[in-house]
Chain A
Amino acid sequence: MRSDPTQFALTAPASLQAVLAQLAQNPGTHIPIAGGTELMVALAAGRLPRHSFLSISHLPELRFIRITPDAIHLGANTTFTDIRRNPTIAADLPLLTLAASWTGSIANQNRATLGGNLCNASPAADTPPALLVYDATVTLISSGAAPGEIVQRTLPYRDFYLAYKSTVLRPDELLHTITIPRAYSVHRHFLRKVGTRNAQAISKTALAALALVSESPATTSDSPSTTPCARHIQTIRLAAASLADRPIRLYATEAALQNASLAPAHLDATLRRARAAFATEAHPIDDIRSTARYRTAVAANLLEDFLRSLTT
């Protein structure tokens, strides 16, 4: 049943400080709303628990892309279109550009924000796997003790989620900045999404991966002489959508692949180890979009695709 708009309050406080003050005054009363592409759907469907909203879409303090030599800093109000149009992001963080291009349609990308995508905390969201493998950090802000004072805390994005649709954000906090290191120019980047169709589909599953492949001479005694240069995985990060109640890093699979050989003679063993570790940490569910069995099987295949791509 459609909601009656007269039953909902919405204000647009004039400044970031004013938004934070209202969040602090009555914690849990207000829902911040940015692009509205998620909340307005929930509103129409009558699924919204609280009836008071604070618009933050007009706040320029939250919409920025700041490039420094070491990092890219994205304000929470950065839209998917902002991301797609930024050449530095495309060059340094291609998976983020790709994920942004998959998120909804162009009309939604023009409104939807990266901050909203993260705070909505859907396990199926498109950008989290990319941000997880890029080892992003998030900066959260809230009102300080002094009038107008803003306090902040920064934590690894991998620690942002607590459970299904649940984050570490306190009711008085806002996500302010997503920071991503510019450290991946020599890495191999991989992102695949499996959905019902190309445009507008919510993923059945998705896998992001980042790896550094080394060609250094073999150091282990069991390397056969048939591999003149023992190509192996020096570092690897893996993250997935829709394999758990939240976007996840695949730590066990990463550990199993640390220093794993990609030499032809060892590849099968590496793939077996990867699949075995993956099976211990993929816990998808059956739902309207797919089944747990399908998700696990397809995500494992994506992982194998990525690992095989590292051999050349």
Chain B
Amino acid sequence: MTTIHLTVNNQPHTLTVPPMKRLLDLLREDLSLTGTKEACGEGECGACAILLDTGSGPELVNSCLIPALQADNATLTTIEGLAPDAALHPIQQSFLQAGGAQCGICTPGMILATHHLLTQHPNPTEAQIREGLSGNLCRCTGYMRIFESIRQAATETAR
């Protein structure tokens, strides 16, 4: 067991965990943050995507592929931390309005991937949207409504 310190959604935590425990399991089991989902568990579907800052700025990562120890002293944002209060984040609002969420398993990852995309490209092209979301699989929507949600979110956040 190893003691690690990390900040999740602006809350500092000190945890004693097996160092090879997946960050995904740490979030869900130790911190009860079950908004981060597991689907493939192999880094191929993006359902477990979060934003991780280990010192060089927040980056989109798959939390199923990160040992807990590598998040020591890191700052994390999960879907629970995206909106600062009871209101929805503009990206969440756009997914709601454009029908970008159906069963919901991929949605937290989709929204964080969108957040990362819009940070890099505030006015993304169609190609940038498709590439930015290409690591996130959805089995319900057929993606078109997700892309539309992202276009709306880009318009909304540019306002």
Contact = CB atoms under 8 A, between A and B. Distances in A.
A158 interface: no
A133 B69 CA distance: 37
A41 interface: yes
Contacts of A9: 19-20
B67 A36 contact: yes
Nearest to B1: A6
A129 B19 CA distance: 35
Contact of A6 (B18, B43, B67, B70): B18
A81 B132 CA distance: 12
A12 interface: yes
Contact of B59 (A45, A81, A199): A81
Contacts of B43: 37, 40-41, 104-105, 107-108
B113 interface: yes
Given A10-B69, A55-B67, A107-B113, A41 B134 contact: no
A311 interface: no
A200 interface: yes
Interface residues of A, number: 32
Interface residues of B, number: 32
Given A37-B65, A106-B113, A107-B46, A8 B20 contact: yes
Given A106-B135, A110-B59, A12 B20 contact: no
A11 B19 CA distance: 8
A40 B67 contact: yes
A107 B61 contact: yes
Contacts of B42: 41, 44-45
A111 interface: yes
A44 B65 CA distance: 9
Contacts of A33: 67
Nearest to B44: A200
Nearest to B137: A200
B116 interface: yes
Interface in B115-132: 116, 131-132
A3 to B, nearest CB: 8
B37 interface: no
A199 B135 contact: yes
A107 B115 CA distance: 12
Contacts of A55: 67, 69-70
A106 B134 CA distance: 8
B159 to A, nearest CB: 25
A111 B61 contact: yes
A45 B136 CA distance: 21
B52 to A, nearest CB: 8
Nearest to A79: B59
Interface in B70-127: 70, 72, 113, 116
A77 to B, nearest CB: 11
Interface string B38-77: 0001111010010000100001111011110110100000
A242 to B, nearest CB: 19
A58 B70 contact: yes
B151 interface: no
27 contacts: A5-B22, A6-B18, A9-B20, A10-B20, A12-B69, A12-B72, A37-B62, A37-B65, A40-B66, A44-B64, A57-B54, A58-B54, A81-B59, A104-B43, A105-B46, A105-B134, A106-B131, A107-B43, A107-B49, A108-B135, A111-B61, A111-B62, A198-B134, A199-B131, A199-B135, A200-B44, A200-B135
**Pairs A-B, 9 closest by C-beta atoms:** A105-B135, A199-B134, A10-B19, A110-B59, A8-B20, A40-B65, A5-B20, A5-B21, A5-B18
